[in-house]
Each structure stands twice: as C-alpha cells, then as structure tokens.
Amino acid sequence: MMNLVLYVWRQKNAQSQGQMVRYDAKNVSPDMSFLEMLDVINEELISKGQDPIAFDHDCREGICGSCGLMINGQAHGPKKATTTCQLHMRSFKDGDSIYIEPWRAKAFPVIKDLVVDRSSFDRIIQAGGYVSVSTGNAPDANSTPVPKTNADKAMDAASCIGCGACVASCPNSSAMLFTSAKIGHLGLLPQGQPERKERVLNMVTTMDKEGFGSCTNHRECEAACPKEITVDFIARMNRDYLWASLTYQKPSARGGGE
Amino acid sequence: MAITGLMGFGFVIMHMLGNLQIYLGQNVEGIYALDQYAKNLRAFGPMLYVARFGLLTIVLLHIVAAFQLTKISHQGRPVKYYKTVATGSDYASRTMRVSGPIVLLFIIYHLLDFTFGNVNPNFHEGQVYANVLASFSNPLISLFYIVAMLSLGLHMYHGLWSLFQSLGANNTKYNDLIRKFALLATLVVVIGNISIPISVLIGVIKK
Amino acid sequence: MQLDSKIPSGPIEKKWDTHRFEMKLVNPANKRKYNIIVVGSGLAGASAAASMAELGYNVKCFCYQDSPRRAHSIAAQGGINAAKNYQNDGDSIYRLFYDTVKGGDFRAREANVYRLAQISVNIIDQCAAQGVPFAREYSGLLANRSFGGAQVSRTFYARGQTGQQLLLGAYQALERQIYLGKVEMFPRTEMLDLIIIDGKARGITARNLVTGKIESFIADAVVLGTGGYGNVFYLSTNAKNSNATAIWRAYKRGAGFGNPCFTQIHPTCIPVSGDYQSKLTLMSESLRNDGRIWVPKQKGDKRPAQQIPEDDRDYYLERRYPSFGNLVPRDVASRAAKAVCDEGRGVGETALGVYLDFGAAIKRSGEDVIREKYGNLFDMYQRITDENPYKQPMRIYPAVHYTMGGLWVDYNLMSTIAGLFIIGEANFSDHGANRLGASALMQGLADGYFVIPYTIGNYLANASLQKIDSSHQGVKQVESEVSERIKKLLSIKGKRTVDSIHRELGKLVWDECGMARNAEGLKRGLEKIPGIKEEFWKNVNVLGEGQDFNQSLEKAGRVADFLELAELMFMDAFAREESCGGHFRTEYQNTEGEALRNDIDFSHAAVWEYQGEGKKPLRHKEELSFEYVHLAQRSYK
C-alpha cells in the first residue's frame, strides 16, 4: 500500500480559469490502474459532498482512445506504449507526488477538469481520411492483392487510437503524427491511391486550420504514442504533400454525361 | 525552413573547406594559401555580390520561417503545462530557438570581424591569414568562436536529419544512416572550425 | 403485443432475395425528404448511418462518446467470420448458417441466421475496399484463422485489433457523410427517451452531456444501435459507459424485450484483483489453442504453480471433455472454471481463478514461437498483473462479455414499435442462446451495411407519417418526463455513491443470475432487487447540476435503468425452465453435468412486454421452428 500526493487540474468549465488542487491518496494498492486510483478519490470526494474529478475514459483496455492524462509531465504517464487506463500504480513509489493535467492545446479546449474536446481530430478525418467507397460498391476482396509488407505497415499506422497524446506531448502542439498515420495507412494501400493527392492536401489544410502547432521534429509524439507509431509516417506525409502540391490538378468541371 | 537550412548547410561546408586552407601555410612566393583563396573569391567580382545577396536572403528567409513556426507553436498551446518531462526529444531539438540566435549573433560578429573589420583593430583588407591570427590570439574572442561553433553544431545536427524528415526524403530503411550522416557532418564542421582558434591559441598556427 | 416475425416465404436460400425484390423502394429524389435518427455509432450504428446517408436519407447520428470512433466495438480482438471459403476447406454459406444456429443452441431464428451468413461475404468485400488492413498472406491475398466452434478457417482479422479496424472503416465512411452534409453528428449526446406519436417512433429526447441541455429530435424513423447491457453486472468486459438506457427506455415505451437472460460469459479474462476493480479485461480466446487449463487437485493448495508437480494438477477440461479438451465452447469452459473454484480449488489470492499454462507449449515450440503468436496478449497480461506469463501460468477467470438478449425485432429488424429499428448487439439477435467467436462483428456490420438500408426504405414507403415538430404535445410530454427524472436524481442527496449501488447490484446479478442459475437463487434475487432499487432512489448521492458536464448524473441515470433491467433478467431466467447456451439452470442438467435443453416447452424466444410501473411484465413467445438445422443436443465429449 502506498500514500501519494496528487496535484490535479480542476477547471469548472471551458470559460472558467483552472488551478492545480492538492489531494492526498491514501492506501493505494500497486495493482490498481491509474484510473481506478482516481475512482477511489472520486468516491471519497462524493462522500464529502465535493465535486468529483471529471476525466474521460471508456474501454479501460487501451483501445478506445478516450482516456488521456498528462501525468508528471508525460502524456499517459511514465510507462512506454501504455495508455493512462493501462498504467498501474506499481509504476509509482510510496510518497510520490503526481501532477495530473489535461491535454493542453488550443485545438483541444478543456471542457471540464481533465476532459478536453478533441473533435478537431474528427474534422481532420472528415477532410479526407477515408476511401470514398459507398456500401455495395466493393469488388471481391481478393481481387486487389496487397503486398504483405504494405498491409503490415498500413496496419502499424492504422492502429492509431486517436487519443491525442501526440499533440499533448508535442512542445509545439502539432497534430502531425495523428494526421500522418491516417494518410500513411490509406496511402500504403491500393484502395487509397485514387484519392491520395486530394486527401493529403485537404487533411493538412484542415489540420492547420484547427490551430495545431507546427512540427519541428522533436519526436516527443513518437515517444508518447501508446501504439508506438513512428515519425516515419510524418516524413511520408511530408513527401506526399510536397508531391501533391506540385502535381495535383482539380478534376475537370465538365462533369459526367447525364 | 528545410530548404533554406539545406542551403545554409552547403555554405557552411564550403566555408569550412575554405577555412581549413589556413593549415596550408605559405606557398613558394610567400603568399598564404588562405589569402590566395580569398583573392580568388574576390576575382568573381560582381558575382560575389550576387552570392552574398543570395546568402543574406537565405538567412533572412530562415529567420522569417523560424519566427512563423515559433508563433504558430506558441499559439498552439495558450495554457502551459505545470510540468513537462522530455521523453523523445534531444537537447539539440529543444534548443533550436537558442542555438539559432547564437549563430545569428555570431554571423554578425564574424562579418564585422573578418569581412568589414570594424571590430578587428588589426584588420587589413585581403590579409585574411593575419586577420585571423590577430583575432584568435585573444582567448575571449576564440572562446566566443568556439561556443558559437558548438551552437552551430547543435543547430546543424538537428537541422540536418530534420530536413530529410521535413522534405520527406527519408525511408525507414535509411533512417539510421541519415542520423549517422547528420552526426558525422556536424562533427566534421565543428571540429574543423574549432580547430582553428585552438591551433592559434596553442601556437600551431603562427606568423 | 403482436409478434409477427415477417419471415418471407420460400426456401431459405431465396428468402432474402425474394424479400428484397418485394420490398417497396423510395425513389432517389424522395429519399432526401426523409429524416432518420441513428443512436449509437459502433459497428452497427456507424455503418447504418453512413449507408443510409449514401442512399440520400438525412441522418442524425448520436453517441455519448466524444467521437464516434470510440464506440466499444473497437475493443473486439479476434476477428470476423465470413463464408468466403478462400481456404478451400469446405466452408459455405450453408455451413456458417449451420454452425451459428447450432452454436446458439437452437434458440435463434433460422431465416435471420441464413441471411447473416449470406451477407457475411459482402462485408469482407466492403471493408477491404474501405482500406481495412486485414492480415494478408505473402501472395497479397487475405489470410484466415480458425476460431472456436467451427472446423473451418473463416475468420478474417487485423492483428488482435479487428474490431478497431472495422470500426474505423465504418467511422471513416460516417465522417465522409458528415463532411458531405448528409449526416449530422451529435457526439457527447445521450438518448434518454423515445418519442412515439400515433403509435410510431418519431424521435428521441437526448441530453447534451456538455451543456446538460435536454433537446428533442424528430424524424421519420429511429434506429438504435446502442449495444448490449453487460454492465448490469458492474464488472464486465464492456466499456465503463456502455449502458442500456436507450433500449430500456424503448422497452418502457412498448418495445418487446427478447430473451433478457441470455448473457455470454467469456472464459478467458484476467481475474479480479481487488474491491477497487472497475472493469475486466478479456484475453483473446485464441490463447486456448496453446494453453492448458488446470487447477490443483487438492483444495486450498497454496504452493506457487511451478512447485505443483504434474501429478497434483487437474487438467479438468482435458479430463472431462477428452475430444475437445481446452477448446470447448465458451459457455462450457466458463462453467467448468466456476465449478472448480466453487469446490475451493481456485488459484490466486482471491481463489477465483484457474491457470492457463503455456509451459508445455513453450517447451514444445520454444518461447519465440509463442511470443510471435501471442506476444501482444502476453504483454497486456503482464502490464495488468505484473506477472510474466512466459515464466508462470496465467490466471484467468470468466467474465461477462456479450448479451445475446435485446429488443425483439422482426425479419426487417423492426421492433414491436412501428418505425423503431434495432441493430447490432442491441437487438435480440441472430445468436440464439450463445454467440460463436468472431460473429458479433459480422452481425453488427450485416445489420448496418446491408439490411437496414433496404428494410427502412420499405417501412418509409409504406408508412403514412404526419408532419410534426418538436412543439408537438407528445414531444413536450416526453421532454418533461426526462427533466423530471433528472431533477429527481439530483434531489435525493443521500449517502451512497452511484458506483457503490451499482457494485451491489452487479454482485447480486453475478451470484444469482451469472454462469449458473437456479430457481431458488433467482427468487432470492427477485426479492432483493426491489430493496436495492429503493435504496438507490432514497439514498443515492448525485452531486452537481443538470445544466452542466456531470458524469455522476450520467452514471446515475444508467444505473437506475440497470436496476430495472436486472429484475427483468431474473424473471426471464426464472421463467425459462431449461438450460441452453449461456443460460444454465442447475436443475436442468444431465447426469454428467451438461446443459439439458427442453425443446418441447422452450423452443421459443421469450418476449417481454412492459405493463407499467410496479406491474409484472407480460411474457410472450415467438415459436422457433427448425426446418433446416435439426435439433440435437450439443456434445463436446
């Protein structure tokens, strides 16, 4: 059992000013997950009639991407390739102080306490993070072979859970790793080729518009990513973007023959 | 940023190669190789001014880009963290906004020192070898040059591998190689340039 | 309550084709005049919303998460079945149909299952075209693996993240329609009630979880794809916020609830470690391919696993089921684990666990081979338990995983309320009393991509819907009921937290209506639940405001509904006097302890009709006939 001191960011809503508040966490079991430790604190707060700490979470098995806390200055805490919900208290020592903050970025405004609005990520996907194939359009799945190495690499990129740790950890609050993962995933597959140029141009434009910072290759994102997506996908996106900027032509306005 | 940085890198390499001619000493006619090299450069006449103008433009563009990036990044996070721990970044990447200005200050001083001679009391147009010797004989000036070169090294190391990344001119297969190249090129430039003031101070280069 | 399953006539292979031809169509220009509400954005909801928008309907899609990409479909690991027969191992649509009906212990509707098997092949095509990075062979063609309950390799997968990749495919299709303006998305918005006008589902009342605003949305049809109710157990493999509120509110407004007692317990989950435990984590079933399950022969044997010699170990599955061994279906494996733990032979600190041992497999094929196959699962296990499964056996225990029960639907996926469609895990589904592995993803996507887009058109073309707006009396009525309920929850200000009551309920449901049930226990439960309900409404403490981001309030509303749903589960389990699939009544077993079905009296789906507050709901039956797959006792000996 451990006793810890927590400093937690409390902010009533988007409009109000927040501050760090101290809480004592007593008798913490090392087998608890980080979020279970917060659950226990919240139960105590409620019993005392105090507002519990709001934080996003859902699957608690590291795949939905809902949870995300800045723990002692590291996105998702000190353990490599681990989301906040999968971080266990055995990663800390008795007597430790733990600073808990929300993801901080202009494009991720705080909703309450540790909960932020990440809808900017959805808007980046809306700008082109898909193959425009309507239901029923598809040919037989095996009619388009995909080299195994490409399929595997595409999967590496596609394993992004959209948690936002890349943005949170980036000294510039850049969303390059998130955006490039989707562009890399689709760009590596034959299905993604027809829209490849428009996709990268539109997604990057949207990313910039959402107010994310710029990439200066610190590689903090790669270190924080719970799915270990590499910055190689950023380079790939840069290359695609450059090429698309130089060669993309708008489709003919003459349209189809109806 | 990447493109101007790449051009800057080209210039730094050429400049260092020029500098190292200080070690060639005098030719049979008693003319220092370095002085001869400078003379050859000046023989380009108007072309030299075109090149100088080009370099100035590159530096300015690089600075403008840096300011833009910095501005976007600052706007990207209006509320700062209480605590951050660097996990993936290295010292070089985190200090770009420090090493950059140091290098800029250095360039200005360097021009005043060896090109215009304003800050070099013993400055004689065309006598490059002697000018260098005069400046570097002062340990403080040498120290400044050494610090500046170390900053340039940090700046260059991050900038060099970074530009491959930013231009998308890399490949997972060659990433290690690119990093090694960046390190090697940086070491060559830093060691090459720093060797000059040190050589002057310890007397390897003398009149 | 009229239960017309609307199964089309004709031979089973032709039913869906015939029906598709006979259904009325809505012409393309008219589609844009219709508004459809989809609640839930998982595999079923997202695929339905996207597909209907592609057809031209105006869709509003709601989810409680901050983004549709986070729906709990994302957590499915293993894979998705499809009768592609790419492996040339004798698979066919008919075989997938047969396996599913049999695996469901003959409590599913044949016609629906056949359609599901037919559509399965289109799903794979659609997903591959979307860019889902399925596993591939070196040829570049799709890879398959085998899965529990089948003798063919028909499972398509994307590492251990198949659910994630399929969901992202559907999510991307949905985001595209949002961009095109055909879908309006409402994240962080929770449906709190259903609006019915003139007997037809016409909209929902929802709460904006950020601002707390209660708002009603009107449409011509409502589709619920809100998932299962496994969280009634408090501890389950479901996401923390997965809930039954949408289907429960629909039930209370008149939708029949089918087979609420059919819940699936997954045998390989990581055991509970303490009272603070908030959820359970599943380990893929595929582990049972190489792991051997055992407990000590002696009660209370506290020696570490490695120090227990072979002779003192009981490989109970291999002993009891020599031909299937560790690969018996989920329900059988789960019950057997419970049995040995009940005998006091469980392992770990809580003694609620059994060993899943890879020692023999590692010795046989080497650690590297095992690492390659299961590395990510072993890592996850170690992250959670801090034990190294390469060195010591894993500890596993069954956990609630999936609910086969749900709102009753006809062949068109329409509930007993006209215009209210239920898709995915939320309906009472095609899985009968037990679901086979890798079939949930298949069903969710079949419903969303390929069934609802057709059947909803048929409904809209036939329905004559009056024009209404949110000022309608019926809408106002529902809105005020929703607001009242919230006000009430916030006014109790008692002593107990929502979670503590939820935990109490969960323990009761697990103990008395979990892996094994009997009349006595169920009666006990039925006596206790009203007390917990009363405690909740008298003594719960929900802090904060309604007009605010208030997670306690969200939880409270959900738990209030779970309390009522639990009662219905108990009633259903009590009324079904037989054992079938996930529903095991200890009174109904043969001499060897295997489930004993009663096909004469219980070959039906039980459908419950709400009768009002404090009144016992009515139990209706939809008789099931098995013309193609002949009734037989399952045997895995």
For residue C595, the surrounding DSSP H or E stretch is none
CATH number at residue A183: 1.10.1060.10
The total number of structural domains in chain B stands at: 1
- Could A216 and B96 be called an inter-chain contact, meaning their C-beta atoms sit closer than 8 Å? yes
- Verify A-C touch: 3 or more CB pairs within 8 A: yes
Looking at the fold, whether A123 and A237 belong to one and the same domain comes out as yes
C152 in helix, strand or coil?
A: coil
Domain final residue pick, A112, A128, A155: A112
Count Cβ–Cβ pairs < 8 Å, chain A vs chain B: 115
Judge whether residue C137 has pLDDT over 50: yes
- Could B75 and A106 be called an inter-chain contact, meaning their C-beta atoms sit closer than 8 Å? yes
pLDDT category at C588 given cuts 50, 70, 90 is: very high
Nearest CA in chain B to A166: B88
The domain ranges of chain C are: 267-399, 480-598
Looking at the fold, whether A161 and A241 belong to one and the same domain comes out as yes
User: What pLDDT, on a 0 to 100 scale, did the predictor assign at position A258?
Assistant: 46
Looking at the fold, whether A6 and A73 belong to one and the same domain comes out as yes
Contacts A107 to B, Cβ<8 Å: 76
CA C201, distance to chain mean position in Å, is 23
CA A123, distance to chain mean position in Å, is 13
Q: pTM (2 decimals)? A: 0.96
Q: Are B73 and A171 in contact (CB under 8 A)?
A: yes
- Could A218 and B72 be called an inter-chain contact, meaning their C-beta atoms sit closer than 8 Å? no
Interface residues on B facing A, Cβ-Cβ cutoff 8 A: 69, 72-73, 75-89, 93-94, 96, 158, 161-162, 164-170, 172, 175
User: What pLDDT, on a 0 to 100 scale, did the predictor assign at position A169?
Assistant: 98
Return all residues near C130 (Cβ < 8 A) that are at least 6 apart: A130, A131, A133, A191, C169, C172, C173
Judge whether residue C78 has pLDDT over 90: no
Judge whether residue B30 has pLDDT over 90: no
CB-nearest partner of B85 from A73, A174, A212: A73
Domain final residue pick, A94, A112, A130: A112
Residue B47 falls within a domain, yes or no?
A: yes
Looking at the fold, whether A54 and A166 belong to one and the same domain comes out as no
Residue A171 falls within a domain, yes or no?
A: yes
Burial class (CB in 10 A: 0-12, 13-18, 19+), C252: middle
Return all residues near C301 (Cβ < 8 A) that are at least 6 apart: C308, C312, C345
For residue B197, the distance in angstroms to the closest alpha carbon of chain A comes to 32
For residue B86, the surrounding DSSP H or E stretch is none
Q: How many angstroms separate the CA atoms of B29 and B35, rounded?
A: 12
User: What pLDDT, on a 0 to 100 scale, did the predictor assign at position A255?
Assistant: 60
User: What pLDDT, on a 0 to 100 scale, did the predictor assign at position B142?
Assistant: 95
Q: How many angstroms separate the CA atoms of B149 and B142, rounded?
A: 10
CA A50, distance to chain mean position in Å, is 30
Residue A12 falls within a domain, yes or no?
A: yes
Q: Does A222 touch chain B (CB under 8 A)?
A: yes
Return all residues near C470 (Cβ < 8 A) that are at least 6 apart: C203, C215, C216, C217, C218
Amino acid (one-letter) located at A50: Q
C35-39 vs C221-224, strand pairing mode? parallel
Domain final residue pick, A112, A137, A171: A112
The total number of structural domains in chain A stands at: 2
- Verify C-B touch: 3 or more CB pairs within 8 A: no
Q: Are C570 and C522 in contact (CB under 8 A)?
A: yes
- Could A137 and C500 be called an inter-chain contact, meaning their C-beta atoms sit closer than 8 Å? no
Q: Is C330 a catalytic residue?
A: yes
- Could B76 and A212 be called an inter-chain contact, meaning their C-beta atoms sit closer than 8 Å? yes
Q: Could you give the angle at which helices B139-166 and B2-19 cross, rounded to 10 degrees?
A: 140
Q: What would the pLDDT profile of C21-48 be if each residue is shown by its tens digit? A: 999 999 999 999 999 999 999 999 999 9
Q: Among residues 156-185 of chain A, which lie with CB inside 8 Å of chain B?
A: 169, 171-174
Residue B207 falls within a domain, yes or no?
A: no
Looking at the fold, whether A101 and A158 belong to one and the same domain comes out as no
- Could B73 and A174 be called an inter-chain contact, meaning their C-beta atoms sit closer than 8 Å? yes
Q: What would the pLDDT profile of C619-632 be if each residue is shown by its tens digit? A: 999 999 999 999 98
Q: Which residue range is the domain that position B152 belongs to? A: 2-202
* Arch. (CATH architecture) of C267-399: Alpha-Beta Complex (3.90)
Nearest CA in chain B to A238: B168
**Residue A190 burial (CB count, 10 A):** 13
Give the residue among C454, C125, C50 at the shortest CA–CA distance from A137: C125
Give the residue among C78, C148, C100, C118 at the shortest CA–CA distance from C432: C100
Contacts A13 to C, Cβ<8 Å: 548-549
For residue C512, the surrounding DSSP H or E stretch is helix C498-513
Q: How many angstroms separate the CA atoms of A200 and A183, rounded?
A: 7
- Per the prediction, chain C carries an average pLDDT of 95
CATH number at residue B11: 1.20.1300
User: What pLDDT, on a 0 to 100 scale, did the predictor assign at position B173?
Assistant: 85
Q: How far is CA C159 from CA C30, C373, C389, C401, in A?
A: 43, 10, 20, 20
Looking at the fold, whether A20 and A135 belong to one and the same domain comes out as no
Q: How many angstroms separate the CA atoms of B36 and B59, rounded?
A: 27
Q: Which of C120, C168, C449 to mutate to test the interface with A (most CBs of A within 10 A)?
A: C168
| More confidently predicted of C372 and B24 | B24
For residue A157, the distance in angstroms to the closest alpha carbon of chain B comes to 14
Residue A258 falls within a domain, yes or no?
A: no
List of chain A residues with pLDDT < 50: 257-258
Looking at the fold, whether A106 and A221 belong to one and the same domain comes out as no
Q: How many angstroms separate the CA atoms of C317 and C637, rounded?
A: 10
Where are the strands (E) in C386-463, listed by range?
394-403, 406-407, 420-422
Q: Does A11 touch chain B (CB under 8 A)?
A: no
Looking at the fold, whether A213 and A156 belong to one and the same domain comes out as yes
Judge whether residue C11 has pLDDT over 70: yes
For residue B51, the distance in angstroms to the closest alpha carbon of chain A comes to 27
User: What pLDDT, on a 0 to 100 scale, did the predictor assign at position C437?
Assistant: 86
Looking at the fold, whether A98 and A219 belong to one and the same domain comes out as no
Contacts C142 to A, Cβ<8 Å: 141-142
pLDDT category at C149 given cuts 50, 70, 90 is: low
pLDDT category at B169 given cuts 50, 70, 90 is: confident
For residue A234, the distance in angstroms to the closest alpha carbon of chain B comes to 7
Residue B35 falls within a domain, yes or no?
A: yes
Among candidate residues C202, C330, C345, C597, the one labeled active-site is C330
Q: Are C120 and C129 in contact (CB under 8 A)?
A: no
Q: How many angstroms separate the CA atoms of C85 and C120, rounded?
A: 11
For residue A150, the distance in angstroms to the closest alpha carbon of chain C comes to 9
pLDDT category at C429 given cuts 50, 70, 90 is: confident
What does CATH list as the number for C480-598? 1.20.58.100
Residues shown for chain B:
207
Residue A32 falls within a domain, yes or no?
A: yes
Dihedral over Cα of C501, C504, C505, C510: its sign: positive
Contacts A171 to B, Cβ<8 Å: 73, 84, 89, 94
Looking at the fold, whether A32 and A147 belong to one and the same domain comes out as no
Q: In what order do the strands lie in the sheet with C214-218?
A: C189-197, C200-208, C214-218
Q: How many angstroms separate the CA atoms of C121 and C102, rounded?
A: 20
Find the mean pLDDT for residues C411-420.
98
**Phi, psi (5° rounding) for residue C472?**
-60, 145
Q: Name C263's bridge partners.
A: C403
pLDDT category at C229 given cuts 50, 70, 90 is: very high
Q: Which of A179, A214, A242 to mutate to test the interface with B (most CBs of B within 10 A)?
A: A214
